[in-house]
Each structure stands twice: as C-alpha cells, then as structure tokens.
A and B are shown apart, each in its own frame.
Chain A
Amino acid sequence: MELLAFGKTGWGDELFIATLMTLAVSITAILIGFLFALIFTPLKLSKNKILNLIANCYTTVIRGVPELLVIYLFFFGGSGAVMYVASIFGYNDYIEINAFITGSFAIGIISGAYSTEVFRGAIQSIDKGQFEASKVLGLKKPIHFFKVIMPQMLRLAIPNLSNVWQITLKDTSLISVTGLVEIMRQSYIAAGSTRDPLFFYSFAAVLYLLLTFLSMKFINRLEIKYSKGY
C-alpha cells in the first residue's frame, strides 16, 4: 500500500493526476470526434458520389488500421503537417504541438469514424415520413435539420455512442507512446521504477474499470432523460 502513498515516496498522487489526464483526453477526443462526425455524416448521406467517397475513405481507413499506427503517424507526422501548412502562409519556424493536442486529435479522429457510423445509422433509421412532413409544413432545411432530425438522431444514437465512448476511453491507453502521462504511461513508469508490474498494471485495470463504471452510470441517466416522452 505504501506504493500508492501520496507525496514524494509513493505513486498515489501521480496516478490520481494521470487518471484525470485520461479523463481529459477522452472527453476532448470524443468531442473532436463529434466535430468530425458532424462534417462526415452529411457527406456519407449525400447523394454526391465524390463526397460520399471521401467520407467512406475516412471511416474505412480509420476503422481498418490499428489505433497504434494512427497514433504513431500523428506523433511523427503531426508537427510536420502543421508546419507544412504554416509554411504555405509564410511561417517557417518550428511549431510545437503538445502531447495533449497530438493525443486528443489522434484518438479524436478514430473516435470520429465510429461516431460518424453511429450518426449515419441513427439518421437512416428515422422514419422517412418525418422528412416529408417537414417539406409539407414548408420548414426550411436548417430548421428541419436542427429541430426535427437532430433531437431524434441524438436519442437514437445515445446507446451506440456509449459504445464509442468506451472505445475512446480505452484507446487513450495507447497514446502512452507519445509521452503523455495518462494512466497507462504512469503505471508503466511506476512499474519500471519499482519493479512491481503486477501491482501497477492491476491497479491501472481497476482505474479503467472505475472510469467505465462511472461513465456508464452517467450515460444511462442521459438515456433515461432523453427517452422521456416516447
């Protein structure tokens, strides 16, 4: 137990902060993912073949390549890509992107591919009559989308989004390779330093279980709230 002490001698405070970091990265990543889904879901449903192809490429490639490779690509290529874009605008100095942003974006893009599929499925399962009803009522397109489709889509999507959340939360364990100190990285360091891997990796498992357990409780509440009136 002294291994988990807070302060200079133990790893308790480090692991606590690392848990918060895991949570922060997961939340940032899933929100970035929603942003991507917001862009790519309409493309997926679009009748334009090219837009369709772009969206399909995104979801197929991201969901077909190991997360670890996506993260490595981001880690090694991220700064380079940003610097390249900046150089077009005439900015040639080195640009540092911190580990948090790199990690959140890498996981966010992965998470976004799954979210896109969930949103697409949800929209497609909305009754076709609704679209026609809006037309008959003469609702403008944006109003139709935000007031009629979005609320229903969200309700239909919540159960599957909780899966996406779980995937995202667990994927953050892989960004330890970029040097961001989250649960996995901290356990790795502690295991190396104390030569007690069994204890620290088991403890990491407990922390992840705790996070999934608590977040599922929270999502269940949301689900109940949003399914009211149906």
Chain B
Amino acid sequence: MNIIKKFSLGLLISLFLTISANADKIRIGTEGAYPPWNSKDASGKLIGFEVELAWTLCRYIGQQCEIVEQDWDGMIPALIMRKFDAIMAGMSITAERQKAISFSQGYADEVASLAVMKGSDLEGITTSEGINLTKKTGAVKKDLKTLTSALAGKTVCTQTATIHQNFLESGDVGKINVRTYKTQDEVNLDLASGRCDVALAAAVAFTDYAEKSGKPVVLVGPTFSGGAFGNGVGVGIRKDDTELLKAFNKAIDKARKNGDISRIATKWFGFDASM
C-alpha cells in the first residue's frame, strides 16, 4: 500500500509539473522524416531546410521557439488540438487544407516529380518538362493522357495525406493503383526494393535519397505544379490565431528581403527553391 500511496503522490506532482502553459514560446511542428526539408541526424537532432528557416523566422519575430516532432498523418489535427502553434513541414498550401487551417504566404516552392528505378520501362515516356494543372491547356491534357497510359496497371507509391496522393486520386491520370506510406523514407525503401513501380513526391526527396543511398533512382515525366499541387509551401497556423499569422508573414518578408530563405534553400536543396 505504501508503494501505491507514494506512487500516486509522485504521479500527481509530476502531472502538475508537466501541466505548464507555454504561452510565451511559439511551438513549431515538423515531421523530421522528409529530407532535405526536415529530418533527423544520428544524434537525434532535427535538421533540414525548414528547421534552419524556423529558427531564422523566430529571430525575426523576436520570440522564443520550440520545434516539436509530429508524425505527418496527424500534423493538422495536432495543430488544431493545440499540440503546437505552427506547422513547417513541407506542407503545400491547398484549398482543401485551407478549409481546416490558415497558411502564411509561401516561403518555398515544392517541385513534384515521378521517380522510378533505373531500367524501368517508364524511363522512356516523353512529356513536356513541366506541367501546370491550374490551366489545363491542350499540351497539359496530352501529357496527362501519356501519363495515364504509362501508369495503368502500375503500383504508384506516395506518402499519405499529401498533395501527391490527392493528385494521384484526382482522376487526372485515370484510375490507378495507389499505395500510401506513413513517411517518405518508407516510400523510398519500397521504390528501391521493387514493391513500388513508380513513386511521386518532391523531386528533391528523390534526388536526396539517390545521392545518400547510392541507389539508381531516376526522375521521369514532367514536373508538376498548380491544381492539386497547391501554391507553394507555407506555414500552417490555426484559423483563430491571426496575430501569429501576421507575425509569420512579416518575418517571411524580412527573411526573403535579407536573402535568408534563398541562402538556406541553396544550402539544403542545392538550388534556390525560395519563393
């Protein structure tokens, strides 16, 4: 009994200690599994483009920050449940997400692309360099048709709850066999193992994987933008948190003007993905 008494007392104390309102700190949620946007190093530290950018933006806002790790599939619910105050996780601004949360102005452009392993028959498809789904011109329609027939019967893999999944399920490339994964790391593994015939994600996610793993992953087809792919990557913020939204927009303006965004983007992506 004594043990139980002591334990319940200790539990109560620890409960009260952890119930601390962090009103003064901005907590930013990120995934930590989407290199080079955000990932973790061997010491367990969060690194990547967005982690570095987050610290920079916080400096401009002039407030203390804390970066919180959150699995991708629970990112928006966790923001709404106030587990953190802002999302910086390579999250593209889309109309669907804007029904649930607000976004700051975009800070980076995510270029999406299909990828296959070297030797795949999909390597042979010819399309234009890039297509914008907002304006479905004749050329765009023709490319989508090419993709529809190329992807028919293939297992197409992508991360769950992403713009890439939305696109694959939109019907723009017909009815295809889509398989969704919790993280991009898992998509990469299964692309390399051959469980996936082709995968769709940010182009940099594939090039980063190819470079680090030495696996022959090649980008195929056009790069995608517009439509289901949204309008760049922004900071996700709760709808009623208008003050914080303003603060982030201002900070992004400053960081852009001072060249911080392009500098950090070039460091992590190898090219300037800022916007």
Contact = CB atoms under 8 A, between A and B. Distances in A.
A96 B42 contact: no
Given A93-B23, A179-B70, A193-B42, A35 B18 contact: no
Contact of A193 (B4, B8, B40, B74): B40
Nearest to B18: A98
Given A8-B43, A38-B4, A101-B14, A94 B21 contact: yes
Interface of A: 8-11, 14, 28, 31-32, 34-35, 38, 75-77, 79-80, 82, 93-98, 100-101, 146, 177, 179, 181, 186, 189-195, 197
Contacts of B7: 31, 35
Interface string B79-93: 001110000000000
Interface residues of B, number: 38
B189 A197 contact: yes
A11 B42 contact: yes
Contacts of A181: 44
Interface in B138-168: none
Given A35-B4, A94-B22, A97-B19, A193 B39 contact: yes
B81 A76 contact: yes
Contact of B82 (A10, A34, A94, A186): A94
B213 interface: yes
B20 to A, nearest CB: 6
A179 B71 contact: yes
A96 B189 contact: no
Contacts of B186: 192
A74 to B, nearest CB: 12
B43 A96 contact: no
Contacts of B212: 195
Given A32-B11, A76-B78, 7 more contacts: A79-B83, A96-B22, A189-B33, A193-B41, A193-B42, A194-B42, A195-B189
A192 B209 CA distance: 11
Which of B15, B70, B78, B81 has the most CB atoms of chain A within a 10 A radius of its CB? B81
A26 to B, nearest CB: 14
26 contacts: A9-B42, A10-B42, A14-B43, A35-B4, A35-B7, A35-B8, A38-B4, A76-B78, A76-B81, A77-B81, A79-B81, A93-B21, A93-B23, A94-B23, A96-B18, A96-B20, A97-B19, A98-B18, A100-B18, A101-B14, A179-B68, A179-B69, A181-B44, A193-B39, A193-B42, A193-B185
A34 B77 contact: no
Nearest to A83: B82
B94 interface: no
Contacts of B39: 193
A32 B10 CA distance: 12
Interface string B31-59: 01100000111111000000000000000
Nearest to B44: A14
B127 interface: no
B89 to A, nearest CB: 13
Contact of B183 (A80, A192, A194): A192
5 smallest beta-carbon distances between A and B, as pairs: A192-B185, A93-B21, A98-B18, A95-B19, A94-B82
Interface string B92-129: 00000000000000000000000000000000000000
